[in-house]
Structure 1
């Protein structure tokens, strides 16, 4: 009986060992069957996308030449103007102190002229009698003429202060005209607003902004890692959020030589400003301030060996790229590779692979199982 008992135990142990061996062997096989792809020859174009906006190449702020109050606005935003077109009229409101000073200057000029005239009339008689010399009389006549001119200047200044013009116009308005041809972008004032003239001490109040919308430039930002690859004069493609499915040609015209603190992103990435001419087609109207993206070609290579960038893996310690190459049925070995430029989909392989190699698709996901509808 004991022998049968030992035999039974031995059989159970042997069966358990066989079961364990089978379990280990079955679990050692990968549940995923990996596919592979071969390197191929293609052209790769490395691009950078700069975000920004389009602005007019030349935008002019129209400012008054005299202070006063807006009496009339004759244009609206969006109107197209020619140089010299009337934009607004300003009603002059003279400063009381300045007006009083001008009046005093006229009075003083009148007094000086009266005195000069008396001297002129008296010495003219003496000159005609030969009592004084011609040179002495000429000096007196010069003083008299200067006094007349000073009075005319004082009266003219008083007229300008009171009416905004020395022309003697009965209208108490002064005209504000367009200095260039273009479209009215903005009118930041309204009737009744007080405006200040443009002078050496004050920039003045802007009555309107005018720009030629047929000449636009793209203004955007590029990261410091890419700015060194840009060349002035390079072509680029510009797209607008407001005009989908349409790209406009452009030409890079400026790359900022200096970083500005305001151009640093919240993540600490240093950016540089770029500008590019935008070639606008006649059948499209581009508004100032449209958000835009500019696609710039940083580098392009033709007929290079490449693989899909998704096939690359990176060493956790060295962060060096490598791939797994098929050496047998579902057997792969690691191969370090040297990479070049990338377009985000394909990446250049400088060394480490050949066209005959088969690279493991290591990150392929299993398709989702479709649920059967219950009756």
Structure 2
């Protein structure tokens, strides 16, 4: 009796196993989604990072050393050539001032002596005692002494007041040398400034630039610079202005690169066409989209459909040939924009290409139900 019960349990278990295997085998085969090739315009781009700056930025420097007495403009103000920016109060060097006074005294002595000689010889010339040539030499020396005294007095006034003018002002005016916008005033009233000379660049009073003429300055990698051409049209995107692309024209490609972080970078410049609806500030960070290669209306597929042979590393796709059956086809590809890739040969527009990493939605639903 016990044996019959045991055999019965085994038989039931065996039947249950058969039913379970039957259900497993009844599940549908894996069915993948497919996509067909399509016509698309593909662009291969390079991105250059940089900033937008004015074409010309002029530094205004004083022609004489002193202290900033007053500043008449503010940063952001628009000015014209010749407008007054600031005034500098001259603080004379005591040694230079003393030397100038001493030179005046010395020349004054020479002038007095020349005048005495002139007066004496003029009388002799009038009486016919000396020749005209001798008298003209004496007259020349007297005139030269008067001119030397005038020059020495002018030098003294310049050292003392910064000007030899008759107004006697103690300030020198710093004026704009070009029209534009004041970008920066790096000094304040009371700051000491140094004049521009052969040995010193001088202190900058202000930076002026024409904000209607901007250029993009950026860098591109050596792997891409060989594909760039001057006068090419590019697009500049500013980090501070969303959803706006400014057209630009590539005007300069550096003939020499510089190494940065192990990679060689080449400097490029492009003239930017501004939009009156946007105010572009100097120094905005920017990216330039440069089209390296473009093909219109070419047969394409999504790059995600590609598979690569493990040995040859050549691309291929799987084309549907029937229900749940696919055939491998080696293909030749062209340019890619990272999303779509050009198909040169291997498949046609009517082929259904397997999305190899995505099963169909119908199969997913069946699996969930089971």
Specify if TM > 0.5.
Answer: yes
For residues 228-255 of structure 1, the C-alpha deviation after alignment (integer angstroms, 9 at most, x for no partner) is: 2222111122222222122222111111
**Partner residue of 2:280?**
286
Distance, in Å, in 2 between the alignment partners of 1:71 and 1:90 is: 5
Contact 2:31 2:360 survives alignment (8 Å): no
For 1:120, which of 114, 118, 121 is the aligned residue?
Answer: 118
For 1:60, which of 58, 61, 81 is the aligned residue?
Answer: 58
Q: Does 1:305 align with 2:307?
A: no
Distance, in Å, in 2 between the alignment partners of 1:175 and 1:183 is: 19
For residues 5-62 of structure 1, the C-alpha deviation after alignment (integer angstroms, 9 at most, x for no partner) is: xx99xx99x99998999799789x86x5211222222222222222221111111010
Contact 2:32 2:359 survives alignment (8 Å): no
For 1:109, which of 107, 110, 119 is the aligned residue?
Answer: 107
Contact 2:67 2:191 survives alignment (8 Å): yes
Q: 2:118 aligns to what SS in structure 1?
A: helix
**Partner residue of 1:373?**
none
For residues 156-194 of structure 1, the C-alpha deviation after alignment (integer angstroms, 9 at most, x for no partner) is: 011001000010333311100111111111010011111
Contact 1:86 1:176 survives alignment (8 Å): yes
Distance, in Å, in 2 between the alignment partners of 1:105 and 1:189 is: 35
Distance, in Å, in 2 between the alignment partners of 1:20 and 1:94 is: 108
**Partner residue of 1:276?**
270
**Partner residue of 1:219?**
217
Distance, in Å, in 1 between the alignment partners of 2:359 and 2:286 is: 36
Task: Check 1:133–1:341 CA distance in 2 against 1; reply closer, same or farther (3 A cut).
Answer: same
TM-score w.r.t. length of structure 1: 0.86
Structure 2: 5+ residue stretches without partners: 366-370
Deviation at residue 340 of structure 1 after TM alignment: 1.4
For residues 282-302 of structure 1, the C-alpha deviation after alignment (integer angstroms, 9 at most, x for no partner) is: 232111111222222211112
**Partner residue of 1:247?**
245
Distance, in Å, in 2 between the alignment partners of 1:364 and 1:286 is: 47
For residues 202-225 of structure 1, the C-alpha deviation after alignment (integer angstroms, 9 at most, x for no partner) is: 111000101111111111122222
1:1-375 matched pairs, under 5 angstroms: 32-261=30-259, 264=260, 266=261, 268-364=262-358
Distance, in Å, in 1 between the alignment partners of 2:98 and 2:328 is: 95
Task: Check 1:321–1:269 CA distance in 2 against 1; reply closer, same or farther (3 A cut).
Answer: farther
Distance, in Å, in 2 between the alignment partners of 1:296 and 1:365 is: 38
Paired residues, number: 360
Contact 2:62 2:205 survives alignment (8 Å): yes
Distance, in Å, in 1 between the alignment partners of 2:23 and 2:141 is: 126
Contact 2:215 2:270 survives alignment (8 Å): yes
Q: 2:186 aligns to what SS in structure 1?
A: coil
TM-score w.r.t. length of structure 2: 0.87
Contact 1:159 1:168 survives alignment (8 Å): no
Deviation at residue 361 of structure 1 after TM alignment: 0.9
Contact 1:340 1:348 survives alignment (8 Å): yes
Structure 1: 5+ residue stretches without partners: 370-375
